[in-house]
Structure 1
Amino acid sequence: MIVYNFIRSMDPCNGGTVTACSIYNEAFKSLGLDSHIVSISDHEENENVYSLAENVSSVYGFSIKALICCFKKINHKSIIVVHGLWQFHGFLALLLSYFKKANVIVVPHGMGGAYFDQFKLKKLKKYVYWFFVERLLIKKASCIIYMGEGEKNFCSDLLAGAFSGKELIIRPYLNKVDTLSENFSGLAGLDSDFFNILFIGRDDPIKGLSGFLHELSVIDESCDFDICLNIIGPFSKKTIAGYLRDFKNIKINFFGAIYSIDKYNIIKNSDCVVVPSKYESFSLVALESLMMNTPVIVSNNVGITYDLPMCAGVLIYHDDNELLDHLRHVYASDIKEFDSGQVLELFTKDNFLSSLKLMLSDVSYVSKP
């Protein structure tokens, strides 16, 4: 049995989906399976990724190279794990499930949100793609795996009537990080004289950064401490210039795209991490923060809030006033001494592997007609 983890791109700028795909690939290998990552858009192949790129610019772009290669390698004994929706690799998996009888598992990674809550002409491409591709892919899937209760709730409206198979919640885990800096030395831009708030995310309106900056600009006027917002993510020069121009009363540092140990160093030395998303199915950033024992302030629109037990380091806000209260609470108290063990015990590698193993033995891998 060979597992193929299908994803559009393993570019780390794509965030949580890339991290989760790597986690699944690692976990399948830990269970003794031959597992591979298959990327449709990456142009640099490495030892961990099969790159089937063919200058595909659109997420719906068709790749003849990917089609031919997969038809040669994949058969009825193969398992395809589709990471994410609304992209060409889902269409490719659908074709392989029909013509090669491959078994399909879908991991939406938050891409099953309420896209069709009201009709909009600009979403016409998505309506068509849903009817002819995604809806059929969901019907063919042996199983859908959600990262948490929040994501399952967010996806329920879209998938209602399209899927009648097995739905599972398998919470992700993060590998422990060593060799962290205990002070601000070497962390350019972090100033211990400020209350350092950290935002990690891509340049996308759904991540809520613009709204958070508006909230922060109002809050800053009534705060009796100096705030610095540090931002990690692949932001364009135009976006950065716009934020610096529009929010001059806030000290803002842009670190750019930072990964692995450097990112964790900044998380650890921040006073708190904020996740202000308008919609987010889970949030690995929140999990990373708790792993570093850094308090996280999360919008109530973030799915991980359904899965986190009450804990001193987890603060959920619904409006500006509650956000200000949480910031003051973190500033005034020694909250960084909280014990994140109670929270993180839900997100362990052992739990993940046990759930994955149970899923593999429980789900019938006979391709649906």
Structure 2
Amino acid sequence: MKILHVVPSFVPCYSHGGVVNASYQIARKQVENGHEVCVYTTDNCIERLKFENNYNVDVDGIKVFYFKNISNSLKNKLTIDTPVSLINHLKKTIADFDIIHIHEHRHSLAIATHRYAMKNNIPYVLQAHGSVLPFFQKEKLKEIFDKIWGFNILYDASKVFALTDIEKEQYLKMGVSNDKIEIVPLGINLNEYTQLPKKGEFKSKYNIDPQDKVILFLGRIHEIKGLDLLIKSFNKVPNDHVKLVIVGGDSGFKEKLDEMIDEFNLNDKVIFPGVMTGCDKIEALVDCDIFIMPSRYESFTTSGLEAMACRKPLILTKNNHIHTWVKDNTGLVCEFEVEDLSNCINKLLNDDLLCKEFGNRGRQLIEEKYDWDKVVGQIEEIYHNCITAGLSTC
């Protein structure tokens, strides 16, 4: 198949969150499976991405087109993409593809792709990645976008991918017909977790005592991730021999956290390593005792899957869509509340046997359900069905 992925930001801009990594992993796996894969994206990141030639950049066999945003600051401040040259390129090339995969839908790339896909009768699937409903910041702008473009982008898709049953309900609430919705989770590359680094590498690099326990957060440093709640809860836990490690790029919220850390006198207890990928990230996962994601809203936690692959217990808030199968199975689930979260942290810090049980169950679940090989196989079957139908709906 000739496959086109459309996503506002792409690797190496990992600081823009899980959509970047998910779209890359899917595209890379499809190349490995023998398909011709292109990605249309922008050069946006915290600092504008720069290449010798913004067009036709080979990324692990994926042909990636990084269209230049007129304003990188406008994108970072207001999340408005301005890749003007994309439009002419779409006109010329969209008929070359068998199927299009749009990641998220409230962006100008999706508007243009929807328009020319419909004109050329090219089927497309849409993966909202947790952004189906207009919520959390800029709600009114999102509602306006939906009235002008968003609903049409949703309704004209051949299929829409829901990460969980909760997200499926959100699609239904937005008026998408039930027969268009497919439950397609995210995954990890399990082969990256067969030979884990030896324990102690991460602790050694960051001067953490080998006997200290480590609570790990891995994600964007953004208000939606609930890190202010985490700092408050961590302050209530006896932490003489515990370190809180917050891994990820700053999306404008670290200054607030620094103020809280100063207020609670936790400067020697909290570590910010920045963005970590590859072996460095796995070393952090191997050396942690608890993985934590205290989000205000979270549709899926890929970093949580990575922790499960390393046999680590999870702590999530009920605002995370995967809490339904994590609770008392691979970890603990709490309300978005200081006392409840601190109690969960304290419970796992003092129960090594429970941590081990959760970790073993998590690893088994990853092997059964959340390997990218299985997930991408499901996606490709959906593609095939849409192409075979030969219509904009299937």
TM class, shorter-length:
0.7 to 0.9
Give 2:331's match in structure 1, choosing from 314, 317, 321.
Answer: 314
- Deviation readout 1:182-226 (Å, 9 max, x if unpaired): 214543143334331111222321110012212222x22xx3754
Report the equivalent of 1:234.
249
1:36 and 2:55 aligned: no
Partner of 2:98: 78
Which SS does the other structure have where 1:5 is aligned?
strand
Alignment root-mean-square deviation, CA: 2.6
Cα distance in 2 for residues equivalent to 1:168 and 1:297: 27
TM-score by structure 1 length?
A: 0.87
Q: Which residue of 1 aligns with 2:111?
A: 91
For 1:354, the equivalent position in structure 2 comes to: 377
Aligned mate of 1:254, from 272, 281, 284: 272
Structure 1 CA distance for aligned equivalents of residues 356 and 334 of structure 2: 21
Moved over 6 A (4+): none
Instruction: From the superposition, tell whether residues 129 and 292 of structure 1 become closer, same or farther in structure 2 (CA, over 3 Å).
Output: same
Letter in 1 for 2:356: E
Aligned to 2:67: 52
Aligned position for 2:139? 123
Q: Say which of 184, 187, 191 aligns to 1:173.
A: 187
Taking the aligned partners of 1:362 and 1:201, their CA distance within structure 2 comes to 34
* Partner in structure 2 of residue 213 of structure 1: 231
Aligned mates of 2:332, 2:224 — CA distance in 1 = 20
Count of paired positions: 359
| TM alignment of 1:285-300, pairs within 5 A | 285-300=303-318
Are residues 1:149 and 2:160 paired? no
Residue 309 of structure 1: how far off its partner (Å):
7.5
Q: 1:190 to 1:296 in 2, by over 3 A?
A: farther
CA shift in 2, pair 1:60/1:165, >3 Å: farther
Matched, 1:337 2:356: yes
For 1:288, the aligned partner's letter is E
- 1:15-34 to 2 correspondences below 5 Å: 15-34=17-36
- Secondary structure of 1:47's aligned partner: strand
Q: What is the CA–CA distance in structure 2 between the aligned matches of 1:229 and 1:341, rounded to whole Å?
A: 23
Is the alpha carbon distance of 1:155 and 1:196 closer, same or farther for their aligned partners in structure 2, counting shifts above 3 Å?
A: farther
Answer yes or no: is the 8 Å Cα contact 2:227–2:257 preserved in 1: no
Report sequence identity in percent. Answer: 18
1:133 aligns with 2:145: no
1 CA distance for matches of 2:224 and 2:34? 38
The DSSP-based 3-state class of the residue aligned with 1:74 is helix
Structure 1: gaps spanning 5 or more residues: none
List runs of 5+ in structure 2 lacking aligned partners: none
Corresponding position of 1:8: 8
- In 2, are the aligned partners of 1:41 and 1:55 still within 8 Å (CA)? no
Tell me the CA shift for residue 367 of structure 1: 2.4
Displacement of 1:70 in angstroms is: 1.7
Higher mean alpha-carbon deviation, 182-191 vs 193-202, is at 182-191
Q: Please, which moves more after superposition, 61-70 or 13-22?
A: 61-70
SS of the residue corresponding to residue 327 of structure 1 reads helix
